[in-house]
Structure 1
Amino acid sequence: MSAALRTMVLGLGNLVMSDDGVGVRVVNHLADWYRFPDDVVLLDGGTLGLDILPRLEGIDRLLVVDAVDNGKSPGDLVRLVGDEVPVALSTKLSPHQMGLKDLLAVAELQGILPTEVVLAGVQPGSIEMGMELSVEVEGALSGLAGLVLSELERWGVAPAQ
């Protein structure tokens, strides 16, 4: 019998910059409402960037949850896979996105980049200082959490409530 693939769900963002904190909020919501198998790690990565690198060792699949400026309307969801992820991060929304791009590049150089990388994101409406999400992103929270759960299901991960 083969070992289970290790999966990390990484929420990124700055909670004091309005919609930028959406990835952290979704990961915290999932941790509060679901129980995950032992081979799944939920990580509030905040704005850590390269500090996350050691945590990627032994991870086979990485699902990043974040606000992503993809030129769409605020609240629109986006799913990016593999090489699409660093390309999307070329348009810098906030400092942590350069950190994520660097993290993925260094992980690849060190041979620890997960074989599957997916970014589940939402187009922000505001990244101004503030603790509240914009109305559009607040309305998209359940859809973003659903996108994360769907991706996990595609990978054969079934959290329990």
Structure 2
Amino acid sequence: MEKLKKSIRVMGCGNLWMGDDGVGIRIVEKMIQMKDEGAVSCLSNVDIIDAGVSGLDMLPFLEGFDKIIIVDAIKSGENVGSILKVKGEDLLLGDDVGRMMSSHDVSVPTVLSIAREIQELPEIVVFGVEIGKHGDEIDLTTDMCPEVESAIDRVIPLVIAEIGKDLNL
């Protein structure tokens, strides 16, 4: 079993009943299964959670870890199914990256800005999957479009590689 230099939490955000918006949840579901099966050794020391559409309730999830990796649906104007990696400090700058990061009412950058004011922030990395419709435009469905669904298997190795940067080799 590999030992991590940092305590790491992977958080999937989204709503499974809103189609593509559930991509973050689908990613962590798959990663939890991989962890339970012992398929990827570095996951054994990683906390992986379904954060749902937690909004401000995300604040406690940011405590007690050296690094938080967030996976979520985004709207940035890129091609549907594209994957964007953004560091937390870039989200807090308030530029275009910060404004585009979430399909939810209370965006990840907003939560991070509030968290920075009231608590110490860990290192944050966000992997966003571009979706075609904003959360409030999606019909109630658990189905995802093929481009977003195919992104799940492309994001997981990126998240695992990010975790791998913190392995104590």
TM-score w.r.t. the length of structure 1 is 0.83
Structure with greater helix share of residues: 2
Q: In the alignment, which residue of structure 2 is the partner of 1:133? A: 144
The one-letter amino acid paired with 2:52 is G
Q: Is the 8 A contact 1:8 1:63 kept in 2?
A: yes
Matched, 1:53 2:59: yes
Which stretch has the larger CA shift, 12-21 or 75-84?
75-84
Correspondences of 1:33-44 after superposition (within 5 Å): 33-34=34-35, 35=38, 36-38=43-45, 40-44=46-50
Structure 2 partner of 1:154: 165
Letter in 2 for 1:156: L
- Name the SS of the counterpart of 1:83 in structure 2: helix
Residues 72, 129 of structure 2: 8 Å contact kept: yes
What residue number does 2:121 align with? 113
Regions of 4+ moved over 6 Å: none
* Structure 2: gaps of 5 or more residues: none
Distance 1:4 1:156, change over 3 A: closer
Post-superposition shift, 1:100? 2.3
**Counterpart in 2 of 1:68?**
74
TM-score normalised over the length of structure 2: 0.80
CA RMSD of aligned residues (A): 2.2
Q: Give me the whole-angstrom Cα distance separating, in 2, the residues matched to 1:17 and 1:75.
A: 16
SS in 2 for 1:53: helix
CA contact 1:58–1:112 (8 Å) conserved in 2: no
1:14 maps to a residue whose letter is N
Change (3 A) 1:93 1:112: closer
Task: Please tell me whether the aligned partners of residues 101 and 107 of structure 2 are also in contact (alpha carbons under 8 angstroms).
Answer: no
CA distance in 1, matches of 2:142, 2:167: 34
- Which residue of the other structure, out of 90, 94, 98, is the alignment partner of 2:99? 90
Q: Percent identity?
A: 31
Task: Tell me, in whole angstroms, the C-alpha distance in 2 between the residues paired with 1:19 and 1:138.
Answer: 8
The residue that corresponds to 1:122 in the other structure is 129
